[in-house]
Amino acid sequence: MIFPCIDLMDGKVVQLVQGREKALEADSPEEMLRRFAAFPEIQVIDLDAAMGRGSNDGLVRMLASKAAIRAGGGVRSAARARVLVEQGARKVIAGTAAFTVDGINEPLLAELRDAIGRERLLVAVDSKDGRIVVKGWREATALSAESVLRALEPYCSGFLCTYVDKEGMLQGTDLDWFRRLRAATSLELTAAGGITTLDDVRALLDMGVHAALGMAIYTGRIPLAELAALQPKG
């Protein structure tokens, strides 16, 4: 599948470069929903919640009421995960809280799984310079993505893996990294970060990996109509 991304900050749709510098503000969330109507599911990330400086709960609720979404940002407790499901999210993405400095946070992951069900939980395994990064990609752990996917499988139904090195830079992604991740787990795998061309998308879909796109859509680098034509049927 192909997932267009709506990232929320200060009540607006934005795109950041490597999770830090705001590169652009897009049209309203409602307008982006209209543009993304050809896609069966949308990825929504509340950046304010992820960075621990507030939330965009009202917008998340509105988006979930009008489209099928997978939602993340600030999922640090079972209560937060339940709120996102109650708001209408089909799946919930947990990132920072899933990890400790040197391992995975099994007690919290078990709480999240038990609160909303394993089938609804996705874990964000985002990497920069070969290591998993957390807290808005500002802190690195000692872990590599390949080393933890198997251990995370009992808690979730899939993974969102962002290649942070090229996130938002429109310089291409690391297809070899995604091939290694694909070989490391049998669960659903969604790629993000640096996906710049239709060839990137095709390569990911061919290896059985979903694609989540932001900057390439918002800048017009990949036309939505051509992207929608690649969306697997059924």
Annotated catalytic, 206? Answer: no
E strands, 77-187, where?
Answer: 91-94, 121-124, 127-128, 131-134, 139-140, 158-162
Q: Which residues pair with 200 in a beta bridge?
A: none
Residue from 7, 46, 48, 200 carrying the catalytic annotation: 7
DSSP character at residue 232: P
- Beta-carbon contacts of 140 under 8 Å, excluding residues fewer than 6 positions away, are 128, 129, 131, 132, 133, 134
Residue from 114, 126, 174, 200 carrying the catalytic annotation: 126
Annotated catalytic, 7? Answer: yes
CA atoms within 13 A on the CB side of 187: 20
> Regarding beta strands 42-46 and 69-72, do their DSSP bridges make them parallel or antiparallel, or are they unpaired?
parallel
Angle between helices 198-206 and 175-184 (to 10 degrees): 20
Q: Which residues are catalytic?
A: 7, 126
